[in-house]
Structure 1
Amino acid sequence: MTLRLASITACLALLASCGAYYTPVSFVAQGDQIIASGTIDETTLSAFEEVTAQNPEARTLVLQYIEGSVDDDANVIFAREVHRAGFDTVVPSNGLVASGGTDLFLAGNRRVLQPGACVGVHSWAGSGLVATDLPEDDPEHDRYLDYFKDIGVDEEFYWYTLFAAPADSMHWMTTAEANRFDLSTKGAPALGSATVCDER
């Protein structure tokens, strides 16, 4: 894993105050698409509302590089709005979603993973809590379980992510794993390899 991605992963997973280590999500409209790159934080929803108001014809959110979030609550609030607004989500062949970015991708009405796309998952930790140390009925899980229920994703995906990799690491999903959880509504192509994704 590159130093940059390792630093981002550890920082995001622990919900630390990342400061200069992350760039908030920015949106660029291109025709009927909105291209998104950056890290989800408390400013993301308002930036999304601004670009969609200016581009009402846009119905596809292209997730070019969304490495995660620094605020889990802001992440699920934003992703719910993407779902409510009926957006499709796409990760392009040279794109990457990880952690909260993967959760955001799942908010799409239709979801497309292009060949070579990178999709990363891991557990979470923060405020002295480690997800895998908590019993399944602990209310700390509800933020995520409620979100997946709201967008129509099987909660088994959530439990899978907790054990796919620890909070300070990242597991890059295989095509078989993506198809197991119906990540793409049309079936997943060959996804990016761990070597490629770690360098992206």
Structure 2
Amino acid sequence: MKIKFLALLAVATMLQACSGSGGSNNSVSEPKEVHGIQPDKVAEYVERFKTLNAQIKLILDGKESAVEFLDMDDEDKQVYVKFNQGVLIFGFDMDKEQPIASDFTIFKGDTSDIEALLKKPSQVLLHKEMTLTRSGDNFEFDGMLEDKDTTGLFPVKFVLNESLFGAGNASFELSKNKQSVLVSGALGTSSYVKLKQLLDNNPSLKTLVLVNVEGSVNDDINMHTGRLVRNAQMTTEIRDGGEAYSGGVDLFAAGYRRVYHDGAKLGVHSWCCKDGKDAGQLSKTDPAHGAQLTFFREMLGKTLGPDFYFYTIQAAPAAGIHVMTKSEVDKYLLVGQ
């Protein structure tokens, strides 16, 4: 299941009210640093995320489960969430910036294959009666679900907040020798938390391998995840058959040393949006480029960094993707190594 990043980022922006990029351009010799999250505020940002994320829970028929964001369908205004017994689908009104009480369904079954589960669930529980309330940062569904076949009733409670949308679902698998970590999924705030914990607890950890990284659901924190990689002088590697897109390429670029194998895929595109325009449609001096330019100057240098950034936003629109050729990888990401 492929995450629809444009819709997700729009929701995360509305719920989190994240500050935008601003204030830099490539024509100034020593441009001002720009950050979506100021470096001295990252710890505070992460602690707030942890506090909010700990409050998210699903209680179905008296049994509590942790949940994980899966996907969002912006056309049908639905969010897909995985829990240990299956998949929850609930409605979300982007205009009102809140969930929809009348749209709540659970598909139970084996979560190892989400597509198969949705096509042939072992049990379907449909919305019967539901209330939706808001308390502070949290939205809370509370009500009853009805078994589609038996009409049996099941009590349910679901608490969610903004951290669900910006967490990402990337996994970080530590190797047996604890010298490398394999990363797959969508990057987000939880990725920063997981990587920092791994680095703090494993001083020999030196290589980050991108296995299948779909992108980032929170670019502001993803750039700081990249700084964790660079500050630890980690090597980033993508092997034959590996795939990394969008924010995954940003993370690859953060490597103190970068290793690319033939057969790997690095996909880039523009971000969206400012005033309804993709980044590639904006002037190069537009302040909205500020945070990304700051990041890529740090990772690739004062000249190559901006060159690479502007290349990415021109390579494909936000709704598309361009897989870098070997010559492009050599030019922008492997030069000087």
TM-score, with structure 2 as normaliser: 0.50
> Where does residue 185 of structure 2 map in the other structure?
38
> Where does residue 194 of structure 2 map in the other structure?
47
Greater radius of gyration (CA): 2
Aligned pairs, number: 179
Q: Conserved in 1, the CA contact under 8 Å of 2:278 and 2:317? A: no
Match of 1:96 among 243, 262, 269: 243
Match of 1:147 among 289, 292, 295: 295
Q: How many Å separate the matches in 2 of 1:16 and 1:40?
A: 16
Match of 2:170 among 25, 28, 46: 25
Once the two structures are superposed, residues 113-163 of structure 1 have per-residue CA deviations (whole angstroms, 9 ceiling, x without a partner) of: 112111100011036442123211111101110001111341111111111
> Where does residue 194 of structure 1 map in the other structure?
none
Indicate yes or no: 2:321 matched with 1:170.
Answer: yes
Closer, same or farther: CA 59–125 of 1 in aligned 2, 3 Å: same
Match of 2:5 among 8, 12, 15: 12
Closer, same or farther: CA 139–129 of 1 in aligned 2, 3 Å: same
Shift of 1:13: 4.0
Residue 289 of structure 2 aligns to which amino acid in structure 1? H
| Residues 57-96 of structure 1 mapped to structure 2, 5 A cutoff | 57-96=204-243
Q: Conserved in 2, the CA contact under 8 Å of 1:132 and 1:162? A: yes
> Any idea what SS the aligned residue of 1:21 has?
strand
Shift of 1:184: 2.6
Q: How many Å separate the matches in 2 of 1:21 and 1:93?
A: 27
Kindly, what percent of the aligned residue pairs are identical?
36
Q: How many Å separate the matches in 1 of 2:192 and 2:300?
A: 21
Bigger proportion of residues as helix: 1
Residue 245 of structure 2 aligns to which amino acid in structure 1? A
TM-score, with structure 1 as normaliser: 0.82
Residue 138 of structure 1 aligns to which amino acid in structure 2? D
> Any idea what SS the aligned residue of 2:270 has?
coil
Q: How many Å separate the matches in 2 of 1:138 and 1:185?
A: 27
Bigger proportion of residues as strand: 2
Indicate yes or no: 2:158 matched with 1:158.
Answer: no
Q: Which has the higher contact order (CA 8 A, sep 6+)?
A: 1
Q: Conserved in 1, the CA contact under 8 Å of 2:280 and 2:310? A: no
Shift of 1:54: 2.6
Q: How many Å separate the matches in 1 of 2:210 and 2:10?
A: 23
Q: How many Å separate the matches in 1 of 2:259 and 2:224?
A: 22
Indicate yes or no: 2:254 matched with 1:107.
Answer: yes
Q: How many Å separate the matches in 1 of 2:237 and 2:325?
A: 17
